[in-house]
Every structure is written in structure tokens, then in C-alpha cells.
Amino acid sequence: GGVECFADFADGSRVGWQAKYVFDIGSLLTQATKSLETALTIHASLTQFIVCFPFDLTGPTGRRGKSGKEKFDEWRQKYEDQATADGRQLTIEAWPASKLRSLMLEFDTSGGIRSFFFSKTVLTTQWFSQHLDIANDIAGPRYTPELNVETDLWKWFAAFGRTTEWSAALNDRLRSCRSTLERLSSAVRRTESDSMSPQWPDGSRSEAQTLVDATE
């Protein structure tokens, strides 16, 4: 009846959702108009009409012609005013791609809906937080620091999570490598000997410079 689904509220009002799988504002408004007119005829208590579509409306750019948002707003205002003139209350709302993504991320914290419908898994911060809380509750009093046996496995998880400790250790190693490389590079460039350091042998200078370049 002009909507994909609807919900009724205690005050007797009804909100209906209509989804259009089109990717331009012209096709969207053409199809949405037919659906809205049908919905208003069949659903006498309809007070809110939400249009869902898989693209985002363009805003004003200063170019000639109206933007997608301006066209949608004009269409919305036209039918809201027409409903008022007919003695009924109506609000029209757009749910573009960005709105749909936000709602899905907000309500599908486990990722189950996205996995079922789109074969996509998104591990959100809330997902990790919930699973850490569950693991902590399950461990309960059985875990004590004194009984903890460390293995190298934690390093892999630390690297995967880019923890502060892992990042600090990596930076220390990188600084050490850079310092050693700088000393090597300086030695390779040395063409004269002094009391502290000899010159680099000419016969291996080319190979050594190739090594320095590759290491850098």
C-alpha cells in the first residue's frame, strides 16, 4: 500500500517507510510520488512518510540548476503543504545512504544484520568492548596476576592491536636501527683515515653503499 512497512503509535498516528533502489534524484522523486499518493489513499492515519534510498543528496554548489537536496526539499514541501490543505498532518523525511549507514552502525553493534544481508563483517569499538567484558566476566576470580604465565603469543596480539607498549618497543628498535645505519653510512663515505677511524676499503665501497641504500 505505498510503503514497505509501517508502525502504529499509541496516539493513533502511523509512520511508513518506502525504499527506492535508484541512484538519481529524478527517478527517486518520480517513484516516490507514486508510492506516497498510494500510501495517503490507503493509510488514513499516516502522518510520517520516510523515503530510503542508496545515495546521498548533493548540496548547493554555486552551479546552474538545483541541487539534489533542493529538489527533494521542494518535493517534500509541496506534498506536506498539499496534505495540510487537505486537512491532514504529514511530514516527509529522507533517509539517504549516509543515514542508513549511521543507523546500521548504531543498532547493529554485533554486525549480525550486515553479515546476514550483505556478507560484511565490521568489528566496531563497541564490539571489542562487549567481548572484552564477556571474557572478563567469564574469567572472574579464576584469573590472578601471580598465576599468569607469559608466552610469546601476547606479542602477536599486541602487534595486532597496536598497543602503546608494542608501539613504544617498535620505535625503540627503529631508533636503534637508524642509529646503526647512520654510523654505517658515515663509515662508507669515509675516504680518509684518522687516528680513530680508518677509511672504507675502495674495493667494497660500491657493495656497501648498495647495502646502505637497500636498508634505508
pLDDT digits (tens, 9 = 90+) for 10-69: 999 999 999 999 999 999 999 999 999 999 999 999 999 999 999 999 988 777 889 999
Looking at 47, 76, 95, the residue that finishes a domain is: 95
114 has a pLDDT exceeding 90: no
- Give the lowest-confidence range in 58-62, 71-75, 182-186: 58-62
Average pLDDT, the chain: 90
Residues in the chain: 216
Q: Where does the pLDDT of residue 121 fall: very low under 50, low under 70, confident under 90, or very high at 90 and above?
A: low
Domain with 198, as residue range(s), is 151-215
How many CB atoms within 10 Å of residue 192?
A: 7
Final residue before a domain boundary, out of 79, 95, 111: 95
Residue 143 has pLDDT above 90, yes or no: no
Residues 157 and 83 in one domain: no
Cell 537536496 belongs to which residue? 69
Could you give the number of structural domains in the chain? 2
Q: Check if the beta carbon of residue 46 is closer than 8 Å to that of residue 5.
A: no
Q: Are residues 91 and 23 in the same domain?
A: yes
Residue-wise DSSP of 45-62: TEEEEEEE-SSPPP---S
Q: How far apart, in Å, are the Cα atoms of 201 and each of 31, 53, 207, 211, 215? A: 80, 71, 11, 15, 20
Burial label for 16, CB within 10 Å (0-12, 13-18, 19+), is: buried
Separation of alpha carbons 52 and 125, rounded Å: 27
Last-in-domain residue among 74, 95, 116: 95
**Angle at Cα 213 formed by Cα 212 and Cα 214, nearest 5°?**
90
Q: Compare 91 and 165 and report the one with higher pLDDT.
A: 91
| Rounded average pLDDT over 103-112 | 86
Give the pTM. Answer: 0.55
**Nearest 10 degrees: CA dihedral of 76, 78, 81, 87?**
-90
Same domain, 90 and 15: yes
**3-state SS class at 200:** coil
